[in-house]
Amino acid sequence: MNEGFVRVSVLLRKANLSYSRLMSFINELVDNGLLEEVSIERGSGYRITERGIDFLEEFERFERFTKAYGLKV
């Protein structure tokens, strides 16, 4: 199943980072199980894992909490 993925080139344009810097972030996310690499026809892409979705949901909850109490993150 190769749906719901994004290519590195798209991430590079949107993040406005150098290739090496972006890959450093991507590798850390993959190592922590938040992203997974998927093989596609011409290279590879990345998609968020269930663990990554859970992390984002918890982070959003944390942001709401800090905002409610006037805290800066």
pTM score of the predicted model: 0.83
Confidence of residue 2 (pLDDT cuts 50, 70, 90): low
pLDDT digits (tens, 9 = 90+) for 7-35: 999 999 999 999 999 999 999 999 999 99
Nearest by Cα to 23 from 39, 43, 8, 41? 8
- What is the set of domains in the chain, with CATH numbers? 6-68 (1.10.10.10)
Q: What pLDDT sits at residue 4?
A: 87
